[in-house]
A = this chain, B = another copy of it.
Amino acid sequence: MIGVLGGMGPQAGVDLASKIIANTIARRDQDHIPTLLFSDSGIPDRTDYLFGRTQVNPAPMMARAVKSMAAAGARFVGIACNTAHSPPIFETFLREVEAECPEVKLLHLIEETVSAIQDHFPRVRRVGILSTTGTYKFRLYDDSLISKGLYPLRPKNIENLGEAIYNPDLGIKACSTPVTVQAREWVGQAVESVIEQGAEAVILGCTELTLALPSAHHLGIPLIDPSTFLARALIRAAAPDRLAPWRVA
């Protein structure tokens, strides 16, 4: 059984669960892979912790949620949140999961994404990164890209991108169905900023961003949706013969 740790934000978890279904070869309900989505709204904000606005590390709550999914049978678990993969959170989380649920295999959103860029876009060298300030601070994608010989780029106006995600009135976390025009504009400007710097592909490195930019390209440049690649990695781990062929949407 696949486990999806969601709630960070909630629509991102649902989106990952939906992509697991969409990337599975199935003609009947029974052909799908059993999946448990735990949309755990009790998990504190990841960015707040990384910037010291709270002392509460979300890791123990995340590990507790995984434990409860493991008790229900989940064996391959993915986290529908980029920022949660920052070392101060992820390392504590990983230690607890390894100690308490040794039967669970955790898949890593960032590593799966960078590895999918290499597989599916072998000629790309300059990669734009759109993410929360927490993900930027801990260089999640930067270091992973550099270690594979790729060159990371960031948009000029990181503050607006943060507002697009977090603004309590206009941001995607507050309004996701539909996303506000302002949030969509801020995200669009960020994509254009990295493309101006020469990005040949752009990672939408916060699970909320694909809600603002659901298409596969922007100005002819491929947009990389980490959730899709995590979904595919989870299927490959749980039931490799069910993985649908990859295609650009």
Binding site for B on A (CB under 8 A): 7-11, 14, 17-18, 21-22, 26-45, 68-69, 71-73, 168, 173-174, 176-177
Contact = CB atoms under 8 A, between A and B. Distances in A.
Nearest to A177: B22
B29 A41 contact: yes
Contact of A39 (B36, B68, B71, B173): B36
A28 to B, nearest CB: 6
Contact of A168 (B7, B21, B28, B71): B28
Contacts of A7: 29, 32, 34
Contacts of A18: 11, 14, 18, 177
Contacts of A73: 68
Contacts of A8: 29
A173 B29 contact: yes
A40 B22 CA distance: 16
A17 to B, nearest CB: 5
Nearest to A24: B10
A207 to B, nearest CB: 11
B39 A38 contact: no
A129 B43 CA distance: 41
Contacts of A35: 10, 37, 39, 41
A168 B25 CA distance: 12
B11 A174 contact: no
